[in-house]
Amino acid sequence: FTIFQDTSQKKRVGEPASKLSSKKAKKQVSKDYSPMLQRLIKELGTDVPQKPLPTKPVSKSNENSTNFLILYQNIINVEEISKKTIQEVILHYFYFGKALVERFNHYKKNNPKRTAQGLINNEVRIQLPSVSQSMLRKTKERAQKIYDLFNEIGVDKIARIQSFTSVTLSSISQDDIDYVLAKLSLS
């Protein structure tokens, strides 16, 4: 169920459908054999990984030489920060999506669906006047997909995400999200 549909993209009359998209059609792969979906199911179905193993401190005698231990520790530290940052971005998209749904439900009490959508779009546009229409649409789409997924399985599962960004998660189709949810419910 999509709350925020983009009605600005319509098929142009008089042009064959094949000319409307310059992208190659993706080869259909069974969801059971999709590596990306299987990886997402695995990440969401496992416990939060332990922190990297602590390494030995560097002695003073090695300070002037090339110290691979320090370099490696720096890599691990930055990767951990990066992972947390990715998880925080996903969390913020979740909350943006949650706010959109809450405002939709608020407006839906006294308005038809399309009017409620328009009121939310106006509210967002007023609060974010410098953000382009395209960026707002993409942000709302990402937020909705991320919210749909983690609202079902629990916001705490965001901490399990290791290799997916908000962009990667939002590129997953609604059918694929439903598939992931079904697989996770069986685990």
CA 177 to CA 67: how far, in whole Å? 45
Q: Strand, helix or coil at 167? A: helix
Give the start-to-end residue ranges of the domains of the chain.
Answer: 86-187
- What sign for the dihedral angle of Cα 154, 155, 158, 160? negative
Contact partners, residue 149, CB within 8 Å, separation at least 6? 169, 177, 180, 181
- Average pLDDT for 103-124: 95
Most confident of 34-38, 39-43, 156-160: 156-160
Q: What is the pLDDT of residues 46-92, one digit of tens each?
A: 776 555 544 455 455 445 457 888 888 888 888 888 888 999 999 99
Contact 156, 84 (CB under 8 A): no
Average pLDDT, the chain: 79
Q: How confident is the model at residue 142 (pLDDT cuts 50, 70, 90)?
A: very high
Q: How many CB atoms lie within 10 A of CB 165?
A: 15
101 pLDDT higher than 90: yes
Instruction: Using alpha carbons, select from 21, 18, 3 the residue that is nearest to residue 103.
Output: 3
Report pTM. Answer: 0.67
Q: How confident is the model at residue 31 (pLDDT cuts 50, 70, 90)?
A: low
pLDDT of 156 > 70? The answer is yes
pLDDT given at position 32:
67
Share of the chain above pLDDT 70, in %: 72
Q: Are 127 and 152 in contact (CB under 8 A)?
A: no
Of 164, 136, 138, give the one whose Cα is nearest residue 150.
164
Are 96 and 139 in contact by the 8 Å Cβ rule? The answer is: yes
